[in-house]
Structure formats: structure tokens, C-alpha cells
A and B are shown apart, each in its own frame.
Chain A
Amino acid sequence: MRFMLLFSRQGKLRLQKWFTSMSDREKKKIIRDMTTMVLARQPRSCNFMQWKDLKIVYKRYASLYFCLGVESQENELLALEIIHRYVELLDKYFGNVCELDIIFNFEKAYFILDEFLMGGEVQETSKQIVNRSIEASDMLQEVRFTDMHQTLQDDRLE
């Protein structure tokens, strides 16, 4: 895998993950190309495209597009299922995930992605295990609450 992008129907980037080293210029170009290409697709066309030497696999979930760039020897159907599994994971974590969850908690979305994919490969295919490890990282649940509390206090102090 080379990259994963999440963007809205308006072409606003919601999440970007790069699995290989790339310059900012390249990244910007890919983001621009992907949003224009994917958003221009007719509603009933297939989920795969060719872009340079990469296979682009995308899927729309409500107003959010998930777009994955994989090497051309990769199986595109499997890549599509990777997207879907990621959405399932997000859904399980947030409970009825929606675009707003991802906008406001994008760092969580990144953490979940990091547990699912690593180094450009699927790290763990078991939904349960991924969830368990995310929970393990979140095991400082209480800290999170005090954390929130603190944040509110910080706000008040200013």
C-alpha cells in the first residue's frame, strides 16, 4: 500500500496516511489528483482506477470517500475489503460512526488505522484483536476523563 486518503464530497481532506516516504509536493499532487478523479466518477462505475503505476481503490460511505492507493500487483478487491474493514473498525470504536466523529476525533481515527495497518501492510485482520489493542492504548480511560476535565479548566483559566 502506498497511501490512504479520506475526503469529503466537497474534496476536503479528512485523513491522510502515507506508507512510503514522499515529498510534500508529491503528497499535494496526489491529494489533488485523487480528489478530482474520484469525485468526478459517475455514480454507478466500479471502485477501481488506474493512476500512473498505481491501482486506486475507493469507496464512498455516505458523504465520505475512502481512497486507497496500492501497487499494481496488489489485489484490488482485497484492497476494497481493507477499506471496508477499516470502516467497520471505526464503526465499532465510535459506535455508528459518522463523518463528524472523524473530523473531531481525527487523531483517534489515526490511532485505529495504526493498529490495523502498519508499514503499508495489514497488521491484524481480526476485528476483535484490533479493538482490543485500541482499547489497551485507551486503557487510561480515567486519564482521559481527567484530561477532559483539565482541558475544560484550561479553557476557563484563559
Chain B
Amino acid sequence: MSDVVEKTLTALPSLLSLDSHPGSAKLSSTSKLGNLIRGITELTSKHEEEKLIQHELLAIKEQVSSPNTTMRQMKELMVRSIYCEMLGYEASFSYIHAIKLAQQGTVLEKRVGYLAVSLFLNESHELLLLLVNTVLKDLQSTNLIEVCMALTVVSQMFPKDMIPAILPLVEEKLNHPKEIIRRKAVLALYKFYLIAPNQVQHIHNKFRKALCDKDPGVMTASLHIYLQMIQENPDAYKDLTPSFVTILKQVVGGKLPMDFNYHTVPAPWLQIQLLRILALLGKNDQSTSEVMYEVLDESLRRAEMNHNITYGLKALTYVVQQDPKLALQHQMTIIECLDHPDLIIKRETLELLFRITNAQNVTVIVEKMLEFLCISEDDHTTIDLVGKVAELAEKYAPDNEWFIETMNTVFSLGGDMMQPDIPNSFLKLLSEGFDSVEEDRKLKLFAVNSYVPLLRGEPGKLPQRFLQVISWVLGEYSHLREDLEPAEVLSLLAKLLDMKNSSSETKSWVLMAMTKLCKGGTDASVTQEVSETYSSSLDTVLRQRAHELQYLSQDPELRARVLPRGANPETLEVDSSLSFLDRFVSEALAAGAAPYKPPHQRQEELDQSKALSLEPYGLSLPISMSSCSITDRQSPTLLSMSSGLSGDSADLSHKGGSSALKLDGVKRVWGREGYLAQREPVEEAAQVEVPSPIQSPGRQGEGDSLHSQTPTQTPTPEPEQEKQQLASSLFVGLASQSSVSLMGKSEPTPQRFRRKAKGQGPGSSFNASEQISSSLISPPSAVDNLLCNNLLDSNNASELAEQTSQLSQRLTTANGTCHTEAELTEPDTKGCNPALRRDNCVVAADPGPHDDPGRLTEVCLDSYLPAELSGLSHSEIAPLCANQSLNLSACHVQKEDSLILVVFIINSSESAIQQMLLQVDSEELEVSCLCDSPAGEMTSHSVAVGQYSLTVKRPAVHVEVVGTVSYQLPAGTSQSLQFSYKVPLTSFIRPFVVSTEEYGTMWLSFSHDTKQNLTLINDNQEPLTATLNALKKKLQLHVVEVIGMEGIVACRLLQDLPCLMHCRVNAGWLAVWLRSPVPDLPDCLIYHCQRALQSL
């Protein structure tokens, strides 16, 4: 292709004078723009150019403002202004005229007007509001071109607030007879979805129609929206998987018109888009993934036929997320890529290998990655790869030595750029160790052994992070090595302090380590010297450490208490509120000190100059606040927190971003009772997170030398045999795996280093089982059918129908639920089943056929509701999951003071089951069993009911209950079925009746808060009252009082997690401030308030 443009004119001026050039260039060179361009090319200096353009702009300015200028001339002027702006000169005077041109010009002039507007203005420009009417008019035009232009400009830039004004018109365009209009409308809605997702929430069904559009272009456009939506919530779109698979199958099979081919590859953009969607849908979901294996394999095969290695490689990377075994077939290709001279390809290959790593091939793969790290010169790549190596090492390390050695390489190569959590989790691993004491000791000892020689060598070359890790490990565990004198370690450490390039952070780690090691006696001289040097340091942290070292080295008893050897790191309690400082704070306040204000409050005070409006309960509210004046309304906890932050370690605490890091600000050794009796390695580790600005020259030198090596690095072609060998070592363990592991990382082999006491999320397995039912319940959409009509001739259509029916057959055999359903409803239709099913799957435009069994069960189940609950309103009884013998459904019942979850277990098989056990649990909720959980035997076709009372333990936007039913079949085999059930947080909200005074007191004592602007409702009523009433109705909030433009509202989350809400009408918005003693609750609640108001 490049040859086409190759003959481009490189010598501009000479060719400009030639009038022989064909086409439009010649035509334009006689125009004014042509003159301008030619004029510019003839200039020699930037200064001359500036003069010329300024002159030009003046001329344009004069002409645009003249009343005699026609629209046609205006168009030409606009083109010239665009050109001047492109050269970097401002032509803001023409903006308004561009809008006028779009408004008043004929079609061609309008087009230039719109173009000028889209180039001149950005989304937030105020002039853009003037364009809204023009767009509205053009959207309603009968001229297709005008509609197209309007849709194009809308997708490029449109004021967010004005979207509702044009939304109905754009929406209407989805049904336009012309495909180009439909396509542009879909993309415009996609853009709206990106900038204001809430606005388009109601048209999700219409997107489905676009997906089924007979025009492939419209269908492709809709995939952009789907990719986005599926990214956010894959579960909601699982039912579309077969549709996406079918589309991909047709694309890969070359069923699209020829001109969709891109250099013989059929619609690559579309393919990749579909692969991405499928990857999202199949992630952590076995049954959905199975639906797509075949087509993925096919895409891969086709891609390879095109000899485009990397394209195939990319696809392969996606595939192995689903099934590592598929990678096996392509191992030789991968090996070749690994030796590719192009670094980018090499890098991608490693990415692929990373995904197929297991316990058997980890050493080879990590070796390859480290090799690459040595020649990589790009920081971004290094950071990424170092993280991956660390992850693999932690997961699959074959033995201690390898683990420590690999991590040492990681630390020295990753230097100070790497993610701070790598050293943190490494230290955490070391300190937690194994369950076996002996193993534990060996690991730590090996670490110590490997570090001592490093320090004896040239520690100056090591990165700061690594030095910090070394000092910590030596401080903690060097005593494990008996032949090593503490004095020697101390002197090695002291050497680090003297190094010029040691950062002060590293020094404080070293001092900490020395504090742990010093025993007095012979070591005294070293420690004495060090502590004297640093006790007068300007760095407060260092000074503190030095003082600690000094005192603790002289008082062995105190040291043993403060820093006991081998203490359990998990039993640590930190008083993060620093309540022990309360007295100090109140004394300070009494002495006239200014109280602490949180940053957002300070910000607000800066933002608003009016003194009255910045205090929600200021003078305008009749709250008796005799005890607390406006200035000291902050809670003592917050105050003391602030004083802690302003202490000597404030600098540390401000650098970290995450909430966990706030602990840094708290002095490490202090607790509620003064000095803490435990040591805390975790926190020390957290300090590493502060990136050290100083890079050791050693590391830089290393980088330089590597840099110079890189160009000479040429790959030596390896003999075929060697490659085979490498292949077998790389792909070992993939074929032998009996179970297909998702993501290729969730290995069935036990992890060597397993984190202790980390609550594993109930995640994937439950989703998978839930998915089994949902994929069966929802029919494939009409996509198949419509696409068939358009893209396939009749032969293909029948072929497709067959494929689809096979697919559903496979589903049926895969989990057998279809059978059960069929048997439940119509046992005698079995004979004509295939035909029936085929209809379901291929036509399936209406959700009819599958609905019946669901409804049937619900009707029956209603009667099984416990008598005491039957009078209350309950949510729809939703099917959870099912297998050959059991069907599970659930619903929740709202009571005034509790929320009851009711689980129905239906034995749908012909035989009884034994030892049935139902267990329900949740991360966010407190689950307590009301009456006895159903257990024991269940006869055939009987129903058991379990009741659980739910209260909120930890608020989250969505809360979920997970459960397991285990039972034994008559044959004696035990089985289990897992399910999950989502409960909306809103069903836990109850009104909280308090008086205004009580409210005032509580407000001051709650420490977690959030603020946001909500939209006001305007329906004849006064907006504040209307909005509050709507919230009250939707979310059961209690409106405490409304005073003028302010209102206070209270609610609680079952059992008793209170949350207070202060609302104020401000500039057309409802400014809401929520406070609660429970973290996250204000955020969750604001989310639901937003949702509630949007749904009105």
C-alpha cells in the first residue's frame, strides 16, 4: 500500500508551481487557501510565518464580521481559519461564525460549519449551547445528509447537560430505514453512554435490536456499547453469548460481504471486538466458556492461516484465559515468537507464557522473563514484568532457594520503580511463613544467608527497596544463623548508613533493624556512634529512630517488651483513632488552639464565601448547640486523628493513597495503652510504598550498560531439537491437567506460599453454578435469525440452524437441566424434543417457551412460604440453580425489623436424597438461621424451606448471599450445589426516627462522610420537598425536618447502622452530605439515592 503514497511530493515548493498535478490539489491551489499555503511554504523563518498569519487572520476577521459576506464566502473563510488554528494560531473570533454557518448554510456550507465547530470548540465550551437548536433542527430534517451531519457532531462533542434535549430524536433514529443513520445513531448513543451512562439506561432493549440489525455495520456499531456494558456487568449479558458466538462464527467463516475483508482477513476489527466480548463473558465461567471453545479454535486456526503471527498470538492470549490446553497445539509457533528479534513480539509472547504458567513450567518461564528484563530498557515494561515474575514466584515456587533467588533478581532488576506491594507482600510472606516450623525456619535462614554476602559485596549497587528488604530481614531473622555474630550484622548495616546514596527512608529501615539486633555489650560502640550521629539529624523520622535505638539498646528489658523476637504479626491492634490523645487535644482546645478541619471542609470554606451556608447546622437551624460552638463541632476522634497526622511522621502518611496506609501516620509503637507490646512487620512494609526519589547510581550504571548492549543483541537460531526441548519444558503440565483451569492460573496443584487468614471471596464457583441456570433460562436472542436472513443464503441458514441446535444439545448434555425441565412440564413430548428445541433456539424471538416452567414453580412455591411470612410482601421467587435432582429458588421478605431470606429446595428427582445440608453465608451480611435449617432426608418431589434472618455487617452497594447444599444420592455418592443470591441494599434500609436535637448530636459524632450533588425533581411541588418525598417513598428514609432550603433526613440499615443526610438546594442541585459511624455506608447510600432519583 505504501507505494501508493510513496510518490508523494516531498519537495513542496517545486511541485506547487507545477500545475500539472491532477485532481483537487490543482483546483485549490488557485484559491485563497491555496495562496495562503503557498505563501507559508515560501517563508523561511517562524517570525515571517507569524506575521503572515496574523495578517491573514486580520483579513478574515474583517470579512466575517462584514454583513455583506455570503454564506459561501463564509465557508471559505472558515476553512482558512481552521488552517490557521491548525498551525497553532488562535482564531477565536471565528467560532461564533462557525456556529452561524452550521445554522444557516446550505448542506455543503453546513458541513464545513459543523467541521469548524468540532475543531474549534470542546465539550465544555459555552458557545456550544448555541449549537443545540441547530442540531435539533437537523435531526428532524428530511435530508439524510443533514441528519448524518447532526449525528456526527453529536457523537463528537455535545454538552452533557443538553443530552436529554436531543435523546428522543437520536433514539428514534434507531428505527430509521437507512442503515447509515441507524449506525450513526447507535454510535451517538454509545458516546452518550460513555459520558453520561444514566441517560441511556432506559434504551438497553433497543441496543439489543441494533445487535440484531440486518446491516452488519449497525450490528458492529452496537458491539461497542455491549463491550462497555459487559465490562461493567458481565452477568447481565450472559444470555447473549450464543449470539456473539454465532456472529463470530459467521465472520470467521467468511459470511460477510467481501468488502468487509481487510487484506484477506474477514473483518478483523469485528473479530477482535467479539473476541473481547467473549473473553469477558467467559471469564470465570466454565459453562459459558464451553459454548465458545469451538469458535475460538476456529478463529485461531484461520488467523494462523493468514501467517500473521502476532495477530494469532494475541488471539491465543485471549483463548488461554479460557483453556490452556488449546495453547498446546500452537507451541512451536510460540517458541518461534520467543526468539523473534522484535522486542514487542517477544514481550507479547511472555505475556502469553505468563498465562499458561503452572508449577511445572514456572522455572523455565520465569527464566525467560528475567532474560527479557535484562535487555528491556522501557520502564513501563520493566515494572509490569517484574510484577508478573513476583506473582509467579509467589504462586508456583518449587522450593525455598529458587523463590529467594528469584525474588533477589526481581528486587535488583525492578529497582525502585517496581510496584510497592511486591516488597510488602514478600516480607509478609516471610513473616507469616509456613505452617511447618522447620520449613519456616529454613526459608528465613536461606534469605538471611543470601543477603549477608550481598552486603559484604557492593551494597551500593543495590536499589533502595532491596536494601530496605534486606535490613528488615536481617533485623528479624539474622539470629537464626548461629555462626553469625550480631556484631557483624550490625557493622554491615552501619556501612549502609554511611553510603552516600542511601535514602533517608532506607536509613530509617536500617536503624530499625539495628534496634532489633543490638544487645549492648560489644555492640554498644557501633550503636552508640550511630545513634549519636542521627539523634541530631534534621530528618525527624531518622531522629526518632536514632533515639529509639539509643534507649532500647540500653534497656534490654524494655526492648524485649517492645520488640519481642518471633512475635505473631497478626495479633496486632492499632488504635487508629488515636483516642489516647483525646485528653491532650481537649486540653489544647481549652488553651485556645484552633480545631482541626478535614480537607473537604476547608475546601468548602474556600469555595463559598457566605458564612451561613457553609455550616449545615449553622445559625439557620434551630438546633440547640449550646455545648458546641460552630468552630468545635468536630468529633474528638477526628481531632485526635488530625493531631496524629500533624506529628513527626506526617510526611509518610500523606504520600500513601490507600486508606490502609493511613496507619503509617500513626506512630508504630503506640497503642491504646501507650507502648504496644507487639511488633508490626506489616506496617514497616507499608512504609516501602513511599517511592524513593533517589535512584542509586549503581542501578543507573547498570541500565546504561544494558542499553548499550541491546542493539548488538541478535538472536541465535536454535536448532530444531533445542526448540522442541524448550517447548516440552514450557508446556509441561498443561496437557496432563485433568480439570480445565480458568485463567490458567487457578491451578489445581497446591500453592506453595499460601496467604493465611485471607477471606477468599466466594466468587467464581458460585457464579458458575448460577450461570448454568441462567444460560438455560434465557434463550439466544433473535440475532441468529436476522443475521441469517441477511448474510447467509438459504443453505447456510439451515447449516447455522443445525449448529445452533447442536449447541443447545451440548448444553443439555453438559448439565442436564433441560432434561429436568422438559420432564417436569411435559414428559411425553420427549419424542419430538429435537424439533422443539431447535425452534426454541433458532427462532426464539419471544422469551415464551422457557418461561413456563419457571412460572409454574413459582406458583407452587408461593404456598410453601412459612405461614408467619405469607402475609408480608416478598420479592419474586427467583430460581437460583438446579441439577438433576435439586431445584433451588429463593426470595426475601421485608419485615419491619428484619429481612428474611427464604430458600426453597425442591427435590425434582424420582428418588429420595439423604443427608441434605443447607449452608448460607455472606461477606457483607450477618446470616442467622431462624428455625432449623432444612436437613436430613428429602423424599421425591418434596420441598424444603430454609429461613435466614439477614442484617448488614459491612455495607456495600450490592450485597450477596452464597450458599451450598450438600446431599447424598441413594447410590451413596455425595453431591453439592452452590448458589448465590443478590439482595438489594435498599431492602435493608429502614426509617430512623430521631428528633432534630438528637440528630444534631449524632451528626457531630459520626466520622465517615461523603458529599454529592443530586438532581432535583421539579413536578409542580417545591423541588426540595418533592425530592425528599420521592426519596422517602423509594428508600424508606425518615425526613426529620425541612427548614427553608435545607432538609435533614435519617435512616438506618438493619440491624442498627445509622446514617444521616443533610440536603441543601444549591444552584439547581440538591447538595447532599451524608454521615455515618460506619465506613462505606454514606457512599453506598448516595449511590442508591442517585439510582432512586434516576428511576423516577
Contact = CB atoms under 8 A, between A and B. Distances in A.
Contact of B272 (A24, A78, A103, A127): A78
Interface stretch (B263-271, B491-499, B877-885, B908-916): B263-271
B804 to A, nearest CB: 25
Contact of B310 (A63, A77, A97, A151): A77
Interface in A1-29: 12-16, 18-19, 21-24, 28
Contact of B217 (A24, A95, A104, A126): A126
A103 B37 contact: yes
Contacts of B27: 148
A125 B262 contact: yes
B384 to A, nearest CB: 10
Contacts of B157: 21
Interface in A41-61: 46, 48, 50, 61
A53 to B, nearest CB: 9
Given A62-B6, A118-B184, A137-B148, A127 B259 contact: yes
B10 A154 contact: no
Nearest to B35: A155
Contacts of B112: 107
Nearest to B112: A107
A37 interface: no
Interface in B105-146: 106-108, 111-112, 115, 119, 122-124, 144-145
B115 A88 contact: no
Contact of A91 (B4, B22, B310, B344): B4
Contacts of B503: none
B81 to A, nearest CB: 12
Interface string A109-131: 01100100011111111111100
Nearest to A53: B380
Interface in A61-98: 61-64, 75, 77-78, 81-82, 84-85, 87-88, 91, 94-98
A140 interface: yes
B83 A106 contact: yes
Given A13-B86, A103-B37, A143-B108, A126 B187 contact: no
Interface residues of A, number: 72
A118 B187 contact: yes
A103 B23 CA distance: 13
B161 to A, nearest CB: 14
B188 interface: yes
A101 B115 contact: no
A152 B25 CA distance: 15
A36 interface: no
Interface string B73-94: 1001001001100111000000
Contact of A23 (B122, B155, B220, B267): B122
B65 interface: no
B219 to A, nearest CB: 11
Contacts of B7: 62, 96, 98
Contacts of B145: 136-137, 139
B29 A98 contact: no
A157 B246 CA distance: 63
B973 to A, nearest CB: 45
A133 to B, nearest CB: 5
A105 B82 CA distance: 12
Interface of A: 12-16, 18-19, 21-24, 28, 46, 48, 50, 61-64, 75, 77-78, 81-82, 84-85, 87-88, 91, 94-101, 103-108, 110-111, 114, 118-129, 133, 136-137, 139-140, 143-144, 147-148, 150-152, 154-155
16 contacts: A13-B88, A16-B119, A48-B344, A61-B2, A61-B8, A81-B269, A87-B1, A100-B8, A100-B12, A107-B115, A110-B119, A111-B115, A119-B191, A125-B267, A139-B145, A151-B31
Please give me the 6 A-B residue pairs with the lowest Cβ-Cβ distance, nearest first: A62-B8, A104-B28, A21-B123, A119-B191, A98-B8, A128-B259
Interface of B: 1-2, 4-10, 12, 15-16, 21-25, 27-34, 37, 72-73, 76, 79, 82-83, 86-88, 106-108, 111-112, 115, 119, 122-124, 144-145, 148-149, 152, 155-157, 180, 183-184, 187-188, 190-191, 194, 216-217, 220-221, 224, 257, 259-260, 262, 267-270, 272, 310-311, 314, 342-344, 378, 380
